[in-house]
Amino acid sequence: MEITEIRKPGRKLARARALLLFSGGLDSVLAGKLLEEQGIEVVGLTFRSQFFGAEAAVRAAEELGWPLLVVDLSQEQIELVENPKYGYGRRLNPCIDCHGQMARVAGRLLGKYQADFVATGEVLGERPMSQNRQSLVIVEKLSGLKGLVLRPLSARLLEPTIPEEKGLVDRERLLDICGRSRKRQLELAEKYGLKEYPTPAGGCLLTDPVFSARLRRLMEWRGKLRAEDIDLIKTGRVFFESEGLIVVGRDERENEKIAGLVGQSDILVTPAGIKGPLAVVRLKRAIELIDKDRAGNAAHPVERKDMASVTGIKSPASPGEEVEKSGPQTRGRGNVRKLELLQLVRSIQEGKMVPEKTGKGDKLAGVAAALAVREACLLVIRYSQARKLERAEAAVIGWGGSFRLEFDRGEWQKYL
């Protein structure tokens, strides 16, 4: 578990200290304010993953002068989304399990940061699925912190917690807010002079209908979630073919983003001799080989000749060369590669570099994986000015080599 201390909590000086699950949203700010008013020290704890960031919490904690810890939950969150014990909300958001996980992490940090209990900004009945009475009980159960999760905004409607019973927290000064109306929270915001705060759950991609639908499709398609795939479907137009995931950039910014996300087993596609989108094709089988290699099931690193057998695309790279794994450790090299790729793509689009021609009758046509490559070619033509031509070419770049394929108008017409 990676913890970043944005502002490190000092030695405990007050009679009690709360570790507050802190999103930076109004409810969590108010929960902390109510405790602070009682002379309780507040240490914020926020989380980041591929689905949500910590930026709002960092900004709010800075303004409030609260210490803040950021915990990276990327892998844990993926596992929750794949298999939530208490199901999803309206989208692919496993909020009950997610709250339980966050509270559980907070519980593990109580001793380290000299905190007496965990506090949250949850409000009874504010969200029908994840904040009803039963869900709050489940969250506490999932956290393993019986009696140690305090919800200052609704505390007087809930069972007294241990810090209340011990007299560390004055229950009478906590609130009894219930329901979806934000009226009392807004009055409190005014009382405390709070002006800007993000909307509840506004920063979580799992509550976004478009992203959620893509993620669901990705799970069905791949049978599991991989961090690298999740990054890829956050951008561009996304298409799932039986053997390949295709993402097509919609503008220059997205093309750049795509180039930065390309793994070495991916294939890039772009119109040849004309400006247009950049597409990446991620082949299912190629990734399975990499995963196998990562899991240590393969006796040797994935060889490029194995990759070639997947798609029929002959790689000019030397056999046995290790496949690059994406991730923070390769980010430096990744940036250089991204610039090189963009340079190559630009040269191909401007006609300064003309890849070798490959006919439709070669072995690519018969390989299922190549169908996804072909599909990507038609898509980049369809989304460029080349769609107005009678014949157009697309360049396919992968594994150290590139070639071009030619298409008739009739072939991409179905996308128009």
Which residues of this protein are in contact with ligand SF4, per CB under 6 A?
52, 93-95, 98-99, 201, 204, 206-207
Q: Which is nearer to ligand SF4, 201 or 298 (CB)?
A: 201
Q: What does the buried/exposed string (b/e) look like for 241-262 if buried means 16 or more CB atoms within 10 Å of the residue's CB?
A: bebbbbbbbeeeebbbbbbbbb
Closest distance to ligand SF4 from the beta carbon of 46 (Å): 10
Q: Which two tokens stand for residue 191?
A: 């009382």
Torsion of CA 196, 43, 201, 250, to 10 degrees: 80
User: Which residues, including other chains, have CB under 8 Å from residue 139's CB and lie 6 or more apart?
Assistant: 96, 99, 100, 103, 122, 149
Strand ranges for 73-168 from DSSP E: 117-119, 149-150
Q: Which is nearer to ligand SF4, 231 or 411 (CB)?
A: 231
* CA–CA dist 401, 269 (Å, integer): 12
Q: Are 205 and 234 in contact (CB under 8 A)?
A: yes
> Which 3 state secondary structure label does DSSP give 268?
strand
Distance of CA 352 to the CA centre of its chain: 37
Token code pair at residue 107? 């519980």
Comparison of 185 and 255: residue with beta carbon closer to ligand SF4: 185
- Nearer CB in complex with ligand SF4: 204/290: 204
Nearer Cβ to ligand SF4 (12/127)? 127
- Provide the minimum distance between the beta carbon of 96 and ligand SF4 in the complex, in angstroms, as a whole number: 8
Report d(CA 258, CA 248) in Å as an integer.
8
CB of 47 to ligand SF4, least distance (A): 7
| In the complex, least distance from residue 21 CB atom to ligand SF4, rounded to whole angstroms | 10
* Nearer of residues 201 and 353 to ligand SF4, judged by Cβ: 201
In this structure, what token pair is assigned to residue 46? 């926020």
For the CB of residue 81, give the shortest distance to ligand SF4 in the complex, in Å: 8
CB of residue 74 to ligand SF4, shortest distance in Å: 13
Instruction: Identify which of residues 93 and 384 has a Cβ nearer to ligand SF4 in the complex.
Output: 93
Q: Which are the contacts of 197, defined by CB distance < 8 A and separation ≥ 6?
A: 24, 25, 26, 29, 60, 189
Least Å from the CB of residue 301 to ligand SF4: 36
